[in-house]
Chain A
Amino acid sequence: MIRFEPRGPVAVSRTIGVSVTAAVAALVLAAIPMLFAGLSVLDAYVLMIKGAWGSMFAFTEMLTRASPLILTGLAAAVAFRAKLWNIGAEGQLYAGALAAVAVGTGLISGPSFVLVPAVIVAGALAGGLVMLVPTLLKTRLGVDEVVTTLLLNFVILLFVQMMLEGPMQDPMGMGWPQSEPILDEAALPKLMDRMRIHWGLVIALAASLGVYFLLKRTVWGFEIRAVGENAAAARHAGIPVTATFIRVGLLSGALAGLAGVGEVAGLKGYLTADLSPGFGYSGIVVAMLAGLSPIGVVFAALFIASIFVGADSMSRATGVSNYLADLIVAISLLSVLVSGLFLRFRIRLAGTRPARESAK
C-alpha cells in the first residue's frame, strides 16, 4: 500500500527537477522501442542531438519548430491553470492560420507596419473566438469542454480543407488544395539570412513573458489561479468565475491562433491542410512538462522541438520511422504526470507514518 504525504511549499528547484526527471525518464523508456527497431540507442541519441543542436542550421530549425510549440504550450498552460480543459489548440491553430491567410493575401493592402499587426490580430482573434464556443457551452449550458474542444478540432480542419478547395484556393496552385501566398508586406520578417527562423519566435517569447506577468502580478491572474485551484471557494469569495473562464478561453484560443499565424505568415507563406503536425496536442505535453509555468513552457518547447527535429534527422540517417518522436513526446507526458507526484507528496510505503489522513 502506497501512501502520499503532502509536502509544504514547493521550491522552484524541485519543480525543475521534476521536469528534468520526466524528460530523462522518457528518453530512457524510449530506448525500448528503439532497441526493437534495431537501433543502437546511444548512436541514435547522438544523431538526434546533432540533428537539433549540432549546427547553426540545425539549431535555427529547432528554434523554428519550438515557436509554435511555445504558443500552443502557453495555450494549454493558461487554460489548465484555470482547469479549463482546452484540448482544442490544434483547431484553434488552424483557425488562426486561416484568418491570417484571409487577411494577409490581399483582403487589405498596406505597408508592413499595418499588415503584419493586422494578420497577427486576425489570427489571435480567430483562435480566441473558436475557443469561445466551447467556453460558453461550458459556462452557460454545462457542456463538458474536453469533448467539445476535441471534436471541434476535426470540424475546423474539415472547414479549412473546404476553404482550400473552394473560395480560398490558390488559382495559380495547379489544383492543389492550398491558399494563395501571403503578401510580402504581411509576412513575419525573418530573423536571419538564409535561415527559416522568423519573428514568430519573438512573438512566442514575448507571449510567455506576458502570460507569466498576467498570472503572477495581476488581479486577472490571481482570479485565474483561484478559479483553477478551487472554483467553489473562488465563487464564494466573490470572484467572477464565469467571466474568468471566458477570459481564459479567449486568451488560450488566441495563443493557439498565434501559433497558426507564425506557421503561415512566418514559415510556410501559404496555408495547407497539413500545416501542423499536431502542434496543438504536443502543446499539452509542453505545458505539462513545464509544470504549467509560462517560463517553463519555453524550455519544455525547446526539449520537444529538439526531439522532433532531432528524430527527423536521425530518421533520415538510419531509416527508422520518425514516429519515434511522437512516441518520446507521449512518454514524456505520462512520465511527467508520475514524477509530478514527487513534487506534491512524499511517497511512503505502508506503515511508515502516513499523514495524508486527517486526525479527527
Chain B
Amino acid sequence: MALPAKDAPVLLRLDGITKRFGALTANDAVCLDLKQGEILALLGENGAGKTTLMNILFGHYVADEGSVLVSRGDGDLSPLEPGSPHAALEAGVGMVHQHFTLAENLSVLDNILLGTEKLSTLKSRRAPARRKLEDLMTRSGLAVSLDMRVSQLSVGEKQRVEILKALYRNAKVLVLDEPTAVLTPQESDTLFAILKKLADAGLGIIFISHKLAEVMAASHRIAVLRGGAKVADLPTSECDQRQLAELMVGHEVSETVRGTGAPGDTLFILTGVSAGESRESIRDVNLDLRSGEILGIAGVSGNGQTMLARVISGLETPFAGSMRLGERTLTQANARTMIDAGLARIPEDRHRDGIVGAMTVSENLAIEAIRKPDCQRFGLLRFAAMREKARAMIDAYDIRCQGEDSPARLLSGGNIQKIVLARTLETEPKVVLAAQPSRGLDVGATSEVYRRLLAARARGAGVLLISEDLDELMRLSDRIAVIHRGHLSDAEPTETLDRGTLGLRMAGHTMEAAE
C-alpha cells in the first residue's frame, strides 16, 4: 500500500483527550495525529473507548481534558470548539456513524443537503447540489440514486450516502465507525478501495475496527486502544496480527474452541415459512436444526434476520409455512407457546426486548416464568421464592449487580445479557435461538456468551445462531446457512465454507447463479 509522503501535513491532532463517565475512564490521555492522505486504523475491543474518542472529535461529547486540533488550510493547527458537531463539520471533519444518521422520510439528495444551507433560505437549491454530487460520485466511485427515499436503500447504499454527506461538505478528515460491520467481505473490499482512492486524493481517513485482518489490509498506520488508553501506534508494515491481538486484549488470546459436536436427531423444523412485507421479510424459509449442533445464519444486516428471529420467537405469525419443535406443530404461535415448547430466545436488541429496565434484577430473571408455580400461587407472587432463585442465578451466571432488588437498567450490557442467558438457559431448553448474542459486548462477556452456547450444545440442545459477524459464525457453528433478501440457503458444514464463498452468498451471487 502506497504510503503518504513523509512530510505530508498533519490534518488533525488529538492532544491528551481524557473522558470519564462516572467511575469509568473511557479515554485516558489519548494523543493521535492524522496526516493528509493517510488511512489510520483505530483498533480496539468493544468498550476500549474508540467510539467515545471519535464522538469527542465530532463534538457529540465534550472531553474532560485535552483538546482537538484541526488544520485550517495554511498548515497551522487550531483548536476545535468542543461539543459542537457544527464546528467539526465547518472544520472539515466528516463522520460516518455505526448507526446511520439519515432521515428515512427524505430523499438521498435532501439528506445530503440537510444542514448545508442556511435555515432562513427561502428555497432549497437542489439543482447545483445535484451537479456537484454527480461529479463527486463519478470521481469517488460512490454510486447511489439521488432521488430515492432513504427508507428504500440497502445498508450498503446508506453507508455510501453517509460518505457522500461528508464529501459534499468538502471534508478533509473522514471518520468511519466500524464501517464493515454491516457489509459482506466483498462490499468491504470495495469500500476500502474507495477509501484508498479518497486518501490518494488527499483526504485523511480514520476507520474504527476490531477486525484484525481488515485493519492489516487497508491501513497505513494502526493505533491500538485498550481500556481507554492508546497502547500502540505503528506503521501497518511493522505489525502482525498476533501482536495486534495481544495489544488489543492485553494478554495472550485464547480462542474459543468449538470441538467436534455430536449432532443427534432433528429437533426443530421450519417448512416454507413466509412472513412480513416489504424490506424486512422472509419468504419460503426452510430450516432444520438437530440436537447437539450450532446452526449459524449469516447475512448482511436487513436481509430478513430480524423477521426470522421474530417468527421463531413467537412475536410474528407467518402467513405461510409451518414450524415444528419435536412433536409439536407451532402455528399461530406467540411468545408464551414458544417458551412452553422449550425454546429459549436471546433477542438481538437486549435493551428493548430483553429486559424491563425499571423492574428489579429478580423480577427480570422471573419474567418468563411468572405464571409458573415457582413464582406464583393462586395468582399471588411468591417474592421469597423469586428472590432466592434470583440469588442462585446471580451466582451461577456471575451477574454483577447491587443485589437482586436493584433495577435492571443500572446494569452494563454484558450483565444484561447474562440476565437473559440465565433465565432462558436455566430451564434447559431444547432449542436456543441466539440473535446477535455478542453484539456490543466486550471480550469477557463475549466469551461467556460463547461458553454458554457451547455448553447448551454439549448437553444436546440445538442452537440457532443468527449473526452478522462472520468470524463468530465460523468459530461457533457446525453448519452455516446464508440469508439474503428473505431467502435462506441450505446449510452446509462450516469446514466446507470460507469467508469468500459466504461473502458472495451474502451478496446473493452464488445463489442467483445456481438458480
Contact call A360/B83, Cβ cutoff below 8 A: no
Once A and B bind, how many residue pairs between them come within 8 Å at the CB atom? 110
Contact call A6/B409, Cβ cutoff below 8 A: yes
Contact call B368/A232, Cβ cutoff below 8 A: no
Chain A hits for B202, CB < 8 A: none
Chain A hits for B51, CB < 8 A: 360
Cα distance, A232 to B335, chains bound together (Å): 11
CB nearest neighbor in B for A213? B380
Contact call A233/B336, Cβ cutoff below 8 A: no
Of A220, A229, A240, most buried by chain B (CB within 10 Å of CB) is A229
CB nearest neighbor in A for B410? A8
**Cβ 8 A contact of B315, one of A9, A235, A359:** A235
Chain A hits for B356, CB < 8 A: 225-226, 229-230, 233-234
Stretch of A18-26, A57-65, A348-356 on the interface side: A348-356
The answer to whether B313 has its CB under 8 Å from any CB of chain A is yes
Chain B hits for A236, CB < 8 A: 313, 315, 335, 345, 347, 353-354
Contact call B355/A359, Cβ cutoff below 8 A: no
**Cβ 8 A contact of A217, one of B19, B368, B381:** B381
Using known A-B contacts A217-B380, A233-B354, determine if residue A225 contacts B359 with beta carbons closer than 8 Å: yes
Contact call B367/A239, Cβ cutoff below 8 A: yes
Contact call A359/B367, Cβ cutoff below 8 A: no
**Cβ 8 A contact of A355, one of B22, B334, B338, B370:** B22
Chain A hits for B141, CB < 8 A: none
Using known A-B contacts A236-B353, A238-B334, determine if residue A6 contacts B22 with beta carbons closer than 8 Å: no
Cα distance, A240 to B47, chains bound together (Å): 36
Chain B hits for A6, CB < 8 A: 409-410
Contact call B26/A9, Cβ cutoff below 8 A: no
**Cβ 8 A contact of A9, one of B354, B406, B413:** B406
| Chain B residues with a Cβ closer than 8 Å to the other chain, count | 52
Contact call B381/A238, Cβ cutoff below 8 A: no
Contact call A218/B379, Cβ cutoff below 8 A: yes
**Cβ 8 A contact of A357, one of B21, B358, B376:** B21
Cα distance, A233 to B83, chains bound together (Å): 34
Cα distance, A238 to B376, chains bound together (Å): 16
Using known A-B contacts A353-B20, A360-B51, determine if residue A240 contacts B354 with beta carbons closer than 8 Å: no
Contact call A359/B49, Cβ cutoff below 8 A: yes
The answer to whether B352 has its CB under 8 Å from any CB of chain A is yes
Contact call B46/A360, Cβ cutoff below 8 A: yes
Nearest CB of chain A from residue B254's CB, rounded to whole Å: 25
The answer to whether A223 has its CB under 8 Å from any CB of chain B is yes
Using known A-B contacts A219-B370, A222-B370, A237-B368, determine if residue A360 contacts B336 with beta carbons closer than 8 Å: no
Nearest CB of chain B from residue A237's CB, rounded to whole Å: 4
Cα distance, A220 to B21, chains bound together (Å): 38
Chain A hits for B64, CB < 8 A: 351, 353
**Cβ 8 A contact of B368, one of A1, A238, A353, A354:** A238
User: Which parts of A302-360 form the interface with B (CB within 8 Å)?
Assistant: 350-351, 353-355, 357-360
Chain A hits for B371, CB < 8 A: 219
Cα distance, A6 to B314, chains bound together (Å): 33
**Cβ 8 A contact of A219, one of B46, B50, B352, B381:** B381
**Cβ 8 A contact of A239, one of B353, B370, B381:** B370
Cα distance, A360 to B50, chains bound together (Å): 7
Contact call B381/A222, Cβ cutoff below 8 A: yes
Contact call B47/A359, Cβ cutoff below 8 A: yes
The answer to whether B76 has its CB under 8 Å from any CB of chain A is no
Chain A hits for B19, CB < 8 A: 359
Using known A-B contacts A236-B353, A238-B336, A359-B24, determine if residue A223 contacts B440 with beta carbons closer than 8 Å: no
Chain A hits for B26, CB < 8 A: 359
Contact call A237/B367, Cβ cutoff below 8 A: yes
Chain A hits for B338, CB < 8 A: 238
Chain A hits for B24, CB < 8 A: 359
Cα distance, A234 to B368, chains bound together (Å): 9
Contact call A232/B379, Cβ cutoff below 8 A: no
Using known A-B contacts A229-B357, A233-B352, A359-B52, determine if residue A351 contacts B62 with beta carbons closer than 8 Å: yes
Across the A-B interface, give the 4 residue pairs with the lowest CB-CB distance, nearest first. Answer: A359-B26, A238-B336, A238-B335, A360-B51
| B contact residues vs A (CB 8 Å cutoff) | 19-22, 24, 26, 46-47, 49-52, 61-62, 64, 83, 313-315, 334-336, 338-339, 345, 347, 352-359, 363, 367-368, 370-371, 375-376, 379-381, 402, 405-407, 409-410, 413, 440
- A to B CB contacts below 8 Å, 27 in the list: A1-B83, A9-B402, A219-B379, A219-B380, A220-B379, A225-B356, A225-B359, A226-B356, A229-B358, A230-B356, A230-B358, A233-B354, A233-B356, A233-B367, A234-B367, A235-B315, A235-B335, A236-B345, A236-B353, A238-B334, A350-B62, A351-B62, A353-B21, A353-B22, A355-B21, A359-B24, A360-B46
